[in-house]
């Protein structure tokens, strides 16, 4: 038969020993080292994607569902902003990128004159004969051999040369954005509409 031992009067029950503090678990990707690595990946992706924030966040390993919001959060981080600035500056120096050079290349395409590709007799100039401005607009050159006859009688009778230039309209659009012409046009339209509404209210 089981018996219960009584606690003597005046005796103090022993307190349970305090349990050791629980170790806080760090979710994967939230520690400082992982966060720093993720910021680095995000910055590199921003360079590779030409500034596509959402795609950069995805490439950095963030969820596709929250990539947009996470990208916005990262871009507000002063550390990320400085990392991106330093990386862009390093690339600009390495490849000699400058605002002046970029605008020059846009201007060359935007104001290209196709007549400069040809000689006075209508024949196509060789690449070495093109001036710098015209050569910069050249996207590709194709040369096809033309033959006559078949088999052993087949003879080369000439060449067909095709050239392709960079998109002039795209270059002009970039130039217009640089000059703020779209904003000016939209502002003028807005002012015209405001004036019309004011007249109608009279």
Q: What is the CATH number of the domain that holds 55?
A: 1.10.10.1400
**153 and 115 in a common domain:** yes
- Provide the domain count of the chain: 3
Non-local CB neighbours of 113 within 8 Å, separated by 6+ positions: 134
Determine the structural domain holding residue 65 and report its residue range: 32-94
Domain-embedded: residue 139: yes
Question: Residue 53: what pLDDT?
Answer: 94
Domain-embedded: residue 23: no
Q: What is the rounded average pLDDT for all residues in the chain?
A: 83
Domain-embedded: residue 22: no
Domain-embedded: residue 19: no
pTM: 0.52
pLDDT tens digits for 69-80? 999 999 999 999
Residue 165 φ then ψ, to 5°: -110, 160
| Cα gap 71→151, rounded to integer Å | 63
Question: Residue 198: what pLDDT?
Answer: 64
**178 and 158 in a common domain:** no
**Taking the chain, what is the end-to-end CA distance rounded to the nearest angstrom?**
107
With contact defined as beta carbons under 8 Å apart, do 139 and 164 qualify?
yes
Residue 158 structure tokens: 């000439």
Query: Rounded mean pLDDT of 16-30?
Result: 47
**121 and 150 in a common domain:** yes
- Residue 31: pLDDT band (50, 70, 90) is confident
**178 and 155 in a common domain:** no
pLDDT tens digits for 86-129? 999 998 888 887 888 899 999 999 999 999 999 999 999 999 99
**89 and 68 in a common domain:** yes
**159 and 135 in a common domain:** yes
**162 and 111 in a common domain:** yes
**186 and 140 in a common domain:** no
Question: Residue 23: what pLDDT?
Answer: 40
**89 and 58 in a common domain:** yes
Question: Residue 11: what pLDDT?
Answer: 52
Query: Rounded mean pLDDT of 30-34?
Result: 81
**125 and 112 in a common domain:** yes
More confident residue, 8 or 35: 35
Task: Say if residue 15's pLDDT is above 60.
Answer: no
Task: Say if residue 35's pLDDT is above 70.
Answer: yes
Query: Rounded mean pLDDT of 184-197?
Result: 60
Question: Residue 142: what pLDDT?
Answer: 93
Domain-embedded: residue 2: no
Task: Say if residue 180's pLDDT is above 50.
Answer: yes
């Amino acid at each position: 038969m089981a018996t219960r031992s009584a606690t003597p009067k005046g005796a103090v029950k022993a307190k349970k020993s305090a349990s050791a503090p629980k170790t806080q678990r760090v979710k994967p990707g939230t520690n400082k080292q992982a966060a720093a690595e993720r910021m680095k990946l995000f910055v590199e992706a921003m360079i590779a994607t030409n500034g596509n924030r959402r795609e950069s966040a995805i490439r950095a390993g963030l969820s596709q569902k929250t990539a947009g919001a996470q990208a916005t959060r990262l871009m507000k981080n002063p550390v990320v902003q400085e990392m991106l600035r330093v990386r862009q500056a390093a690339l600009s120096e390495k490849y000699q990128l400058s605002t002046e050079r970029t605008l020059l290349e846009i201007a060359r395409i935007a104001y290209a004159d196709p007549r400069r590709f040809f000689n006075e007799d209508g024949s196509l100039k060789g690449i070495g004969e093109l001036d710098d401005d015209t050569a910069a607009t050249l996207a590709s050159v194709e040369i096809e051999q033309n033959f006559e006859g078949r088999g052993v009688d087949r003879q080369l009778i000439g060449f067909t040369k095709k050239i392709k230039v960079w998109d002039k309209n795209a270059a002009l659009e970039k130039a217009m954005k640089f000059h703020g012409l779209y904003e000016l046009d939209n502002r003028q339209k807005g002012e015209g509409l405001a004036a019309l509404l004011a007249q109608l209210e009279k």
